[in-house]
Chains A and B, each alone.
Chain A
Amino acid sequence: DAGVIQSPRHEVTEMGQEVTLRCKPISGHNSLFWYRQTMMRGLELLIYFNNNVPIDDSGMPEDRFSAKMPNASFSTLKIQPSEPRDSAVYFCASSLLIAGGRSPLHFGNGTRLTVT
Chain B
Amino acid sequence: DQQVKQNSPSLSVQEGRISILNCDYTNSMFDYFLWYKKYPAEGPTFLISISSIKDKNEDGRFTVFLNKSAKHLSLHIVPSQPGDSAVYFCAAKLVDTGKLIFGQGTTLQVKP
Contacts and interface: CB of A to CB of B under 8 A. Distances in A.
Q: Do A and B bind each other?
A: yes
Interface of A: 4, 33, 35, 39-45, 48, 55-56, 91, 93, 97, 101-102, 104-110
Interface residues of B, number: 24
B63 to A, nearest CB: 18
Given A107-B45, A108-B43, A41 B99 contact: no
Contacts of B100: 33, 45, 105
A105 B6 CA distance: 20
Interface string B30-68: 001010100001111110010000000000000000000
The 5 A-B residue pairs with the shortest CB-CB distance, nearest first, are A107-B43, A42-B104, A43-B102, A104-B46, A107-B44
Interface of B: 2, 6, 32, 34, 36, 41-46, 49, 89, 91, 93, 97-105
Contacts of A110: 41-43
A42 B45 contact: no
Contacts of B91: 43
Contacts of B43: 4, 91, 93, 107-110
